[in-house]
Amino acid sequence: MQDDDLDIRRRRARFRSWHRGTKETDIFLGSFADAHVGGFGPDELRQYETLLEEQDPDIYGWVTGTQDIPDHVRGPVMDLLLRFQLKP
């Protein structure tokens, strides 16, 4: 049953990543989610879900380096997101 719950959360996170509201963030987070969320365990998924609660302009500022990253979203998933690059 726990694996089913985790799969549901992963699918929800991928959907939320592609349907943010701003095109740039949709593309970046959606591509990141497609590449990584399927392999996230409970801890990584929780970190990503916390990130998805943030506003698009803030996330965009963090990944572009124009805003400081707050402590509550720092961690391995944010590090992975910062290293992620879209493939042309």
User: pTM (2 decimals)?
Assistant: 0.91
pLDDT score for 87: 66
pLDDT score for 53: 97
The whole-angstrom separation of Cα 4 and Cα 45 is 14
pLDDT score for 24: 92
Q: Enumerate residue ranges in the chain where pLDDT < 50.
A: none
Is-contact 21 65, C-beta < 8 A? Answer: no
pLDDT score for 48: 98
Domain residue spans of the chain = 2-83
Q: Which CATH architecture has domain 2-83?
A: Orthogonal Bundle (1.10)
Which residue, 74, 65, 71, 63, is CA-closest to 25? 63
The torsion of the CA quartet 65, 68, 73, 76, rounded to 10 degrees, works out to: 50
